[in-house]
Amino acid sequence: MKKKIVLISIILMAGIGLFVFNNLGGFNDVKLEVTHSEDFNLIGRHFKGIPQDEKLRMAFQEIEKIKNDNPEAVLHTIYYAEPAGKLDTMEVFVGLESKWMENKSGFDQVSYSGKNAIIATIKAHRFVMPGPLKIKKKIIDFSKDNSLPEPDVFIDQIVGLDEIKVIGINSKKNP
């Protein structure tokens, strides 16, 4: 009798888990597409240091404030080096498209050509969203399958709480 109750409980919990995972978008496909003309001219802050550094938090807050003043603006991040732990060095750029920045002096600028850029659109809750390495692999595999230059820079566009676009760009082929 106890074995049946345990078995039913496990099946019920698994069913509830799958239902919640599905409702959060865990089974949503990653949409991949190629863009040929959009250039990415970003203005913001470049940070290199440890994740707990106050300067990193301040950089995000500064750019978020500008973003909030422009409701149509989208936050962009480029992780050049991601930390493996709390004390590892990371390198990240956080910014907005240049058209949203009125006063550009004192900010860092990053520009990439969007020719043959691959855009992965992920629509899911952040708890069930695929990890960055999985998305990068999908973009690289897509580039190989479609005979496109392999991306080496990945720009994250945070469109909303449940939508992120990852743009894969081959910076070596772009001016």
Residue 7, H or E segment: helix 2-23
Strands in 19-73 per DSSP E: 31-35, 40-49
What's the DSSP call for residue 104?
Answer: -
Amino acid letter for position 27 = F
**168 is written with which tokens?**
């894969």
Q: Which CATH number do you get for residue 65?
A: 3.20.80.10
**Residue span of the structural domain in which 109 resides:** 31-169
Residue 48, beta-bridge partner list: 91
**Residue 10 phi, psi dihedral angles, 5° rounding:** -65, -45
Q: Would 2 be classed as within a structural domain?
A: no
In a domain, 122, yes or no: yes
Asked if residue 127 lies in contact with residue 24, where contact means CB atoms within 8 angstroms, the answer is: yes
Q: Is residue 35 part of a domain?
A: yes
Domain assignment present for residue 15? The answer is: no
- Banded model confidence at residue 174, pLDDT cuts 50, 70, 90: very low
Distance CA 2, CA 83 (A): 47
Cα dihedral sign, 139-141-142-146: positive
pLDDT tens digits, one per residue of 50-73: 888 888 899 999 999 888 888 888
Residue 10 lies in a domain: no
Residue 45 CB contacts under 8 Å (≥ 6 apart), including other chains: 59, 62, 63, 93, 94, 95, 107, 108
| Count: domains in the chain | 1
Residue 3 lies in a domain: no
User: Distance (Å, rounded) from C-alpha 117 to C-alpha 119?
Assistant: 6
- Read off the pLDDT of residues 80-111 as tens digits, 9 standing for 90 and up: 887 777 777 889 999 998 888 777 778 889 88
pLDDT per residue as tens digits for the range 107-160: 889 888 878 889 999 998 888 788 888 999 999 999 999 988 899 999 999 888
Q: Are strands 108-112 and 40-49 parallel, antiparallel or unpaired?
A: antiparallel
pTM of the model: 0.80
In-domain check, residue 14: no
Q: Is residue 16 part of a domain?
A: no
Instruction: Say how many Å lie between the first and final Cα of the chain, rounded.
Output: 70
pLDDT > 90: what percent of the chain?
A: 25
Q: What amino acid occupies position 130? A: P
In this prediction, residue 9 carries a pLDDT of 87
